Amino acid sequence: MLYREAGQFKTNYVADSAIFPLREDRIGLALIILAAYALAFFGSSFLLQAVLIPFLVFSLAAIGLNILTGYTGLLSLGTGAFMGVGAYACYKLMTAFPGVNVIVWIFVSGFFSAAIGALFGLPSLRIKGFYLAVATLAAQFFLQWCFIRIPWLVNYNVSGALDAPLRTLFGIPIMGPNATPQTRYLLVLTIVILLTWLASNLVHGRIGRMWIAIRDMDLAAELMGIRPLQTKLLAFAVSSYYCGVAGALLVFLWYGGAEYDVFNINQSFFILFMVIIGGLGSLIGSFFGAALIFILPIVLGIVLPAMLAPFGLSVGADVIEHLRFMIVGALIIFFLIVEPHGLARLWQIGKQKLLVWPFPY
């Protein structure tokens, strides 16, 4: 038997409430983390720069949206704008205080995004559902207008773009043209692991139970003593914090510079699709959704030409892009109708089958 629960007894409350109660889960997670760090030394520059770094960044943004939409039940279409707030805040801070390590500003920039998210989350006490989605959509367009029309945000740069100056950590370049993909990947991976661990503790603790109570029935939660406004604003703030940090990582540790259009409405929808396909109310689902949405075009670009080459056929990039949208659209419809918990639920079902294999009866 690969994996079994029998015989693993819990003798105290801490063991009973552990996030990974099974020894096999803890060993598996440790192996995954070790393999992720090993890829920095054995993976190619293309794999690190074009695949793994953006995958981690979008996973972090999806975790942020999942906290708001999956755990609290509040729909947001302003994720891209909140990522932009984090990126612009990080740019202003590191140019105003160049002597402070940029990693500090990456984490601090999330607080600016959290404040803006909480501000636009104020209507959530009175409205929800479609109307709340429209309110966050207004935040998306308003913030994007600010990115375009306020030159102070880019230090009056004529191009209106954010650029990544050279920054080092212990003498090693981690930002700018001299930073290697390996160094940036290790930094992004460490930040994502740290924030995922923090999010896991939040959603499995008292705050997470408050969010879930608001999601399931806000009136009953209020009768139980949970304050809806504070709980919803906290969800908006935490969600926006994660999106802000993801935006800073996106610009300064992946792109190396960007313009306002990076944080448009399409970005918000793509991250929402990641959450829907990966699984609402699941942290691991955020990683699954980001992997499918972002890595799918890369896989299609490699697999389809290889499959069609023996027949003398070729496929263009536009066809692959159309296929990507068709597949993503079909998966969204499937998971919304058939399995709302997305790929995370299918993963859970697979684990349960391992519990009884090879003795299914």
pLDDT tens column, 155-204: 888 888 888 888 888 888 888 888 899 999 999 999 999 999 999 999 98
CB half-sphere exposure, 217, CA atoms < 13 A: 4
Shortest CA distance to 330 belongs to which of 296, 284, 281?
296
Please report, in angstroms and rounded to a whole number, the separation of the first and last CA atoms in the chain.
14
**27 within some domain:** no
Residue 22, amino acid: L
Average per-residue pLDDT for the chain:
86
Give the per-residue pLDDT at 287.
Answer: 93
Q: Rounded to an integer, what distance in angstroms lies between the CA atom of residue 127 and that of residue 71?
A: 17
105 occurs within a structural domain: yes
Residue 171 lies in a domain: yes
76 part of a folded domain: yes
pLDDT at 2: 53
Counting residues of the chain whose pLDDT is more than 90, the rounded percentage is: 43
Is 228 inside a domain boundary?
Answer: yes
336 against 235, higher pLDDT: 235
pLDDT digits (tens, 9 = 90+) for 258-267: 888 899 999 9
Of residues 234 and 127, more confidently modeled: 234
Q: How confident is the model at residue 359 (pLDDT cuts 50, 70, 90)?
A: very low
Give the residue-averaged pLDDT of 237-253.
Answer: 95
Q: Say yes or no to pLDDT of 250 above 80.
A: yes
pLDDT category at 351 given cuts 50, 70, 90 is low
Q: Tens of pLDDT along 112-135?
A: 999 999 999 888 878 877 888 888
* Helices 102-120 + 79-96 axis angle, to 10: 140
DSSP 288-352: HHHHHHHHHHHHHHHHHHHHHGGGT----HHHHHHHHHHHHHHHHHHHHHT-TTHHHHHHHHHHH
Which tens digits make up the pLDDT trace of 22-69?
A: 777 788 888 999 999 999 999 888 889 888 999 999 999 999 999 999
Number of domains comprising the chain: 1
344 dihedral zone (left: phi>0; alpha: psi -120 to 50; beta): alpha
* 305 compared with 103, residue with greater pLDDT: 103
- When pLDDT is cut at 50, 70 and 90, the band that residue 297 belongs to is confident
Q: How confident is the model at residue 16 (pLDDT cuts 50, 70, 90)?
A: low
Residue 41 lies in a domain: no
Q: Are 169 and 101 in contact (CB under 8 A)?
A: yes
In-domain check, residue 21: no
CATH number at residue 144: 1.10.3470
pLDDT at 360 over 50: no
Its domain, for residue 141, covers: 48-356
How far are the Cα atoms of 61, 128, 242, 283 from residue 195, in angstroms, in the given order? Answer: 11, 28, 8, 11
Residue 330, in any domain of the structure: yes
Model pLDDT, residue 15:
66
pLDDT band at 317 (very low <50, low <70, confident <90, very high): confident
Q: pTM, whole model, 2 decimals? A: 0.90
Q: Determine the pLDDT at residue 332.
A: 82
